[in-house]
Structures are given as C-alpha cells and as structure tokens.
C-alpha cells in the first residue's frame, strides 16, 4: 500500500473534499496532512509582486479579480459540506501539522520524516524541488483545467475567453515549472451553462472538483500503469487574473456560447 503525504494551502478546499474519498476508495495510506498557513516570509517582496501584478492587469482588473474570487470558493458540493481539514484529520486519526510557509525547511523535514512513496498537492501555489523530490515517486498535482493549453489558469473563465465550451482537469507530476510536469491523467468534458456567468463558473468548478477527485483515486489504484503511461506536455500557454477588458470578453463569449444553443444545466 502506497504511503501518501498531502500538502494543502486551504483549510476548506480540494483536500477537504478529496481526503474522505481517498480514505474510502483509494488503495493508499495517508501518513500525514500538511497545511500551509500562507504567512508572509518577506512582506516587502510580497507587496512588490502584488504591485507588479496590478500594473500588469490594471486597477480595474485587480478590483474585479477580488470580486470574482468568490465564484471559485466552495463550502459544499452537492450536499457534501466541506469540513476543516484539521478536524477531518482528527476524526480519522491522520497525523496533521500546520506550517507557516509552503516551502519552509519545516515542510521539508515533515515530508522526509513521513518517508512517503508519493506526495499530493491539493490547492497550492509553487512547490520547491526540495519538497517534491523527497517522495519516492515525486509529487502529483491536480490542475483544474486542460494542460498545456491553460497553465496557471483559473478554471472555466479562460476557456470561455477562448470561446471554448469545454473544460476539464489534469493530474500531472510536479516539476520546477508551474503546471508543466508530465501528464498522468487528463479528462475533458462540456461546460454546463447556467443563467449567469458567476453561476456557470461556480457550477463547473464543483464538477471539476468531483471528477478530478475520482480521477486521482483511479490513478492511485493503478499507479504504476498510469506512471508508465505519463507523457510530456507540449508548448503551453500561461494565464493570470484577467484585465478588465479581458473580463468583458469573457462575458461576451459566455453570452455568445449561451445563444449558440448550449443547454442550460
């Protein structure tokens, strides 16, 4: 049975949904869950990066990015209420530890002490090689979009921007890039259109979460087969928070696809 360590940066998110399913369905042992508390190691550098991003996407883009953030947050999924990950670990007797920074030396030490066969990144930003290289088979990440076409992209909105009526998820190995590692599994499926753009994004994010959770279970239950059939990504395209003008195009494309006869969910 594979020994799995989970790293997450959210108390209620992908890990909260996936953990109960992994315990019930996956042929693995979760040896520890590590929660990144997202403290700022270097506040000056952090705010410099924020300002640089604001200059890139504009003030209106930054304000709109904050506004639409709630579209991607989930408290429940089809009746399943997402619980605090620490509480879930306590209920299931899984060792848990919170660390102040994702790529801290303490995180490295925890992963080393676990002696894991595999790491799972569920809802994190960039993970350093000093961490993802520790497990025997490295680490896997669930990216809620199709790779390599939508690297570093928020789910759904950039598919709409490109005028596509499908979405998907990708399970890939973590390497030194962002969403650039070898693809282990990928699934594409049609977008479900709702009465508004915000509802459409929220509904499809729930679907992505559900289907990607089932996908990671399939991978873990036949891991060596999937690992042997992993393949490298081609040239990708990277996205970030949309500018205000890009957001207007997303809304326009959403209405266009809706009028073209896509079925309302």
The answer to whether residue 154 sits within a structural domain is yes
The answer to whether residue 242 sits within a structural domain is yes
How many C-beta neighbours within 10 Å does residue 245 have?
12
The answer to whether residue 265 sits within a structural domain is no
The answer to whether residue 24 sits within a structural domain is yes
The answer to whether residue 264 sits within a structural domain is no
For the cut 50, the answer to whether the pLDDT of residue 265 exceeds it is: no
The model's pTM is 0.94
Task: Count structural domains, the chain.
Answer: 1
Residue 234's domain is classified under what CATH number?
3.40.50.12230
Estimate the share of the chain in helix, then strand, then coil, as percent rounded to the nearest 5. 45, 20, 35
Residue 97, helix vs strand vs coil: strand
For the cut 80, the answer to whether the pLDDT of residue 263 exceeds it is: no
Could you tell me if 124 and 101 are in contact, meaning their C-beta atoms sit under 8 angstroms apart? no
C-alpha closest to that of 244 among 58, 72, 71, 66:
58
Task: Of 49-63, 85-99, 228-242, 249-263, give the lowest mean pLDDT range.
Answer: 249-263
The answer to whether residue 89 sits within a structural domain is yes
The answer to whether residue 139 sits within a structural domain is yes
Structure confidence at residue 40 (pLDDT):
78
Structure confidence at residue 39 (pLDDT):
86
The answer to whether residue 187 sits within a structural domain is yes
pLDDT in tens, 118-172: 999 999 989 999 999 999 999 999 999 999 999 999 999 999 999 999 999 999 9
| Containing structural domain, residue 74 | 2-259
C-alpha closest to that of 140 among 156, 117, 109:
117
Length of the chain: 265
pLDDT in tens, 55-107: 999 999 999 999 999 999 878 887 778 999 999 999 999 999 999 999 999 99
Strand order in the sheet with 28-36: 96-99, 28-36, 2-8, 118-122, 139-143, 166-173, 183-190
Whole-angstrom distance, CA of residue 78 vs CA of residue 92:
22
Phi, psi for 117 (deg, rounded to 5) = -80, -35
């Amino acid at each position: 049975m594979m020994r799995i360590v989970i790293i997450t940066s959210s108390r209620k998110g992908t890990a909260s949904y996936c953990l109960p399913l992994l315990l019930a369905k996956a042929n693995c042992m979760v040896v520890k869950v590590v929660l990144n508390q997202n403290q700022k190691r270097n506040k000056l550098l952090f705010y410099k990066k924020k300002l640089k991003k604001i200059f890139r996407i504009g003030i209106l883009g930054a304000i709109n990015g904050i506004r639409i953030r709630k579209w991607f947050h989930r408290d429940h999924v089809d009746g399943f209420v997402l619980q605090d990950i620490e509480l879930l670990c306590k209920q299931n007797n899984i060792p848990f530890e919170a660390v102040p920074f994702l790529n801290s030396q303490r995180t490295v030490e925890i992963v080393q002490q676990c002696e894991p066969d595999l790491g799972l990144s569920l809802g994190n930003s960039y993970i350093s090689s000093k961490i993802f290289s520790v497990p025997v088979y490295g680490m896997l990440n669930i990216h809620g979009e199709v790779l390599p076409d939508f690297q570093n992209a928020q789910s759904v909105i950039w598919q709409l921007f490109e005028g596509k009526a499908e979405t998907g998820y990708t399970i890939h190995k973590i390497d030194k890039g962002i969403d650039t590692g070898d693809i282990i599994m990928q699934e594409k499926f049609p977008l479900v259109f709702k009465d508004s753009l915000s509802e459409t994004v929220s509904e499809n994010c729930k679907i992505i979460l559900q289907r990607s959770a089932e996908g990671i279970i399939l991978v873990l239950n036949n891991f060596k087969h999937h690992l042997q059939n992993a393949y490298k990504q081609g040239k990708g395209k990277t996205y970030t928070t949309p500018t205000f003008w890009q957001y207007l195009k997303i809304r326009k494309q959403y209405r266009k696809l809706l009028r073209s006869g896509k079925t309302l969910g």
